[in-house]
Structure 1
Amino acid sequence: MSQQVPDTGTQDAVPARTGRITGVDAARALAVFGMFTVHLGVGSIGLLDGTAAEAFHQLTRGRSSALFAFLAGVSLALMSGHLAPLSGDPLYRVGMRVLVRAVVLALLGGLLDLLDAPIAIILTYYGGFFLLALPLLRLRAPALAAVAAGVAALGPQVSFLVRSAMGEPGYSAGSIGGVSDFLITGYYPACTFMAFVVAGMAVGRMDLRSTAVRVRAAAVGLGLVLLGYGGSWLLMYPLGGIDRLLAVEIEAFYGSAELPASDPAAMEPLRQWMAEQINALHGEVPTSSPLWLLVASPHSGTTFEIAGAVGTALLVLTACLVLADLLGDGLYPLTAAGSMALTVYVGHVVVIALIGASADQSAPFRLELFVAGALVLAALWHLILGRGPLERVLGRLARTGADLVVPPDPRPGPSPGPRA
């Protein structure tokens, strides 16, 4: 996931300041560690217990994978010209690199799925996201932002209508069972996650070193968090959406929609049960009622969730950019882990498969050991050998594929922009 921009550009490309944007690496590491938290479970958190551990685990659910996809979009934008999109042969070379990465990531995700780790592997979906992003590499920030907004506004509603017509999709034995899983019924459906990817591409077309850009990104992020999570909460609780949804679900279960609305003591357990159902989604909402589209819980795949998760990703990214400037090498272990996020992600899946970590939800400090191990190993590897092992292999395969289609230009080109 950590790739360099190509060494060639276009004559009309806006010159970009060189050097790695380490704040992006730091944010990517946080996304991976957030997925550690989700995959290892609440009981793996040793530094927190009880309500605090539950709250931290809940904070990482859904938002970590959304941040991961968002930062993939940032990297795609940095690879394809950063401030100004590439064109001509340089763009074709980048497109071929993205295509090769898409194929390799999809195959790698399939191999990881064979390990039977109790994890919904995101890499196969990632490969599909890269393919869908190929036609968008020419676009600038405003157009990309408009596409992301369109996917966020329409994708969940289209998914709801299509799934309503399809009926129950059935159980999928692996992380992804086919095209329908990838598009609408899987753990990371494109109708939701492409909004994160394209929003990240829009952000990657901006000058991430600019203070003004960071302030605007943080302001937009805060507004989206309030709109997504706050708007859903307002509709579901003060305005009574949860009670109406509860009536629908009770009728589906018991054949009666009668609720003891006049008895607060009787209603509270029912509302708590409904809240648990809302919080237990895995990629999309049920189609029993359009009221489900008002929720914003993790992995609900609604417009409200997309808005809140994109807002969270913007806030995390801007905070990491600022911290990277302030702390410099003080963030080195974190940025090293983020620079080899693919290696770290694959490594944690393999370890979980070998030791069955998720089978034991009462193994305190297991999360801390996973994070500390990843930080130490990544820092040492990066210090001694540089680029991560899987990143190195993926980069070579991508360059080879690009060279077969468009031979590299031996003439010196413009200075490359910041590395993704």
Structure 2
Amino acid sequence: MADASRRGRARSDGVALADAAGRIDGVDIARGLALIGMFIAHVAPAAAPGTAADLLAIADERPRLLFALTAGIALGLISGGIRPVPAAPGFAGGRDRARLRLQVAIRAVILIALGLLIIATLKPLVFVILDVYGVAFLVLIPLLFLPRWIALVVGIAGVAVAPGVALALSRMPWVAEARVAGWGLPVDWFIAGAYPVIEWVPVMLIGIALARFGITRRRVLAWMAAGGAVATVACLPAGVALLRVGSSLVAEGAAAGDSVRAFAVGESLQVVGNVGVGVLVVVAAVVLTARGVMGVEPVRRVASAVLSPIAAMGAMPLTIYTVHLVVLAASIRVENGFRTDDSWPLAIALVVGSMVFAWCWRRWVGRGPLEEFMRFASGRAGWPRRGSAA
């Protein structure tokens, strides 16, 4: 009776049962948009200061944070969504919770190995995120089943503090000394790299919390939209302004401590604002495509059809991201004495080609090839999904 009443309340609140049992197209669309943003950031040629440069800057920081946010949402969904796997023994109980943690750990190890292999063999001219993702998954394993409010509060607090801390720590002498001593890889993973885990884990915790609250619930979407808008408007301009102040202090020869403080606070504010942008993107994608959220079925059908190529990309992110690294490595050339892969035709080809490939593969084959391998290798293939009976 309790389960039935919960299902009844869920339907009346506009919840798609995919929260607990399957994919949510809006999350796949947000992840697909993050991939497109990464493609543009990786290979779009630099533009002169002005409107074009400002538009390109949109893809410079936000896609990676949107990627981390959707990764957290995915972890929340595969661990039960609004009805997380309980700790009690029995079916979908204690043994299954331990099994799920093991599956996440196996996936993390595979991601780390794949990322390091790509860096060592392909040597692309971009920062590779796969190994950092694997490390972040390992860190999240003991945090995977935190109560949703605790996960949300810890995630928000971490996003507000960790980016500035990582930036300040990365400028300390011991970081350079650690690299010389052979500890460069773990230092980059956790603190000083392009994608430090100290920054990514809080973002992913926010994603896990949103999955626990139910990201297709109308009330949750309303709160997400309000919170994302406040974070974007209040923090993003202030963060950009403080980063410019830090650059001015460096140019003027001010004390190093003053510039580092400006950079640290500015970086934290900018990341909070960019996470807010990511939340708004997820809200917009879910509102347009989740059944029962808008209440206008023709709008949902049209939006789902139009955005289906992007959703297909987002449903196989590991495959699309890995193939794009292979393409980038094969596209390296020398221009004016420098190795580069920048090219607008390449950027357009990556976006369009990924959409066409992903849409066709998803329609006629199913899961992405690397996603299917990851599912098989981690032992998740054939494991009943919670809520599938509903």
TM-score range, shorter chain: 0.7 to 0.9
Q: Which of 136, 143, 147 is the equivalent residue of 1:140?
A: 147
The corresponding residue for 1:217 is 224
- 1:320 is displaced (CA, Å) by 0.9
* Conserved 8 A contact 1:160-1:287: no
Distance 1:50 1:190 in 2: 31
Q: Are the structure 2 counterparts of residues 362 and 93 from structure 1 closer, same or farther at C-alpha, using a change threshold of 3 Å?
A: closer
- Report the alpha carbon displacement of residue 193 of structure 1 after superposing the two structures with TM: 1.5
Q: Percent identity?
A: 29
CA distance in structure 2 between the aligned counterparts of 1:413 and 1:162, rounded to whole angstroms: 42
2:55 aligns to what? 56
The separation in 2 between residues aligned to 1:379 and 1:164, in whole angstroms, is 44
Q: Is the 8 A contact 2:152 2:206 kept in 1?
A: yes
Code of the aligned partner of 2:63? S
Distance 1:163 1:95 in 2: 31
Q: Retained in 2: the 8 A contact 1:23–1:317?
A: yes
- d(CA) in 2 for partners of 1:134 and 1:55? 38
Alignment partner, residue 8 of structure 1: none
Choose between structure 1 and 2 for higher RCO, CA contacts under 8 A separated by at least 6 residues. 1
Partner Cα distance (1:164, 1:375) in 2: 40
Q: Secondary structure at the match of 1:84?
A: coil
Q: Which residue of 1 aligns with 2:332?
A: 356
8 Å contact kept, 2:69–2:207? yes
2:264 maps to: 293
**Residues 186-335 of structure 1 correspond to what in structure 2 (within 5 A)?**
186-233=193-240, 241-242=245-246, 246-251=248-253, 289-295=260-266, 302-325=267-290, 326=300, 327-335=303-311
Write the letter of the residue equivalent to 1:94. L
Name the aligned partner's letter for residue 197 of structure 1: M
Match of 1:386 among 362, 366, 369: 366
Q: Which runs of 5+ in 2 are unaligned?
A: 11-16, 88-93, 291-299
Instruction: State the shift of 1:288 in Å.
Output: 5.6
Question: After the TM superposition, which residues 85-234 of structure 1 pair with which residues of structure 2 at under 5 Å, given as runs?
Answer: 85-86=84-85, 87=87, 88-114=94-120, 115-159=122-166, 162-163=169-170, 165-167=172-174, 169=176, 177-233=184-240
How many angstroms apart in 1 are the aligned matches of 2:330 and 2:76? 36
Secondary structure of 1:42's match? coil
Unmatched 5+ residue regions in structure 1? 1-10, 258-284, 296-301
Deviations 1:35-56 (A, max 9, x none): 000110236x9xxx98443222
Partner of 2:357: 377
Q: TM-score, normalised by structure 1?
A: 0.75
Q: May I ask how many residue pairs the two structures share in their alignment? A: 352
Counterpart CA distance in 1 for 2:385 and 2:243 is 55
In structure 2, C-alpha distance between the alignment counterparts of 1:107 and 1:395, rounded to whole Å = 16
Matched, 1:36 2:39: yes
Separation in 1, partners of 2:53, 2:43: 13
* Distance of aligned partners of 1:362 and 1:22 in 2 relative to their CA distance in 1, 3 Å threshold: closer
Higher helix share: 2
Residue 152 of structure 1 deviates from its aligned partner by 2.2
Residue 164 (structure 1) shift: 5.2
**1:414 and 1:74, CA in 2 relative to 1: closer, same or farther beyond 3 A?**
closer
Could you list the per-position Cα deviations for residues 280-299 of structure 1 after superposition, in whole angstroms to 9, with x for gaps in the alignment?
xxxxx99963222232xxxx
Amino acid at match of 2:214: D
Are the equivalent residues in 2 in contact too, given 1:340–1:387 (CA < 8 A)?
Answer: yes
Q: Is contact 1:38–1:60 with CA below 8 Å preserved after alignment?
A: yes
AA of the residue aligned to 2:387: S
C-alpha distance in structure 1 between counterparts of 2:344 and 2:60, whole Å: 19
> Aligned pair in 2 of structure 1 residues 367, 157: CA closer, same or farther (>3 Å)?
closer
Shift of 1:166: 3.5
Once residues 49 and 252 of structure 2 are traced to their aligned partners in structure 1, the CA distance between those partners, rounded to angstroms, is 30
Deviates more, 1:95-104 or 1:52-61: 52-61
- What CA RMSD, in Å, does the superposition of the two structures yield over aligned residues? 3.2
Q: Partner letter of residue 105 of structure 1?
A: L
Question: How far apart are 1:234 and its partner, in Å?
Answer: 5.8
CA shift, 1:330, in A, is: 2.7
Alignment of 1:5-16 (within 5 A): none
CA contact (8 A) 2:43 2:342 kept: no
Which of 386, 397, 415 is the matching residue for 2:377? 397
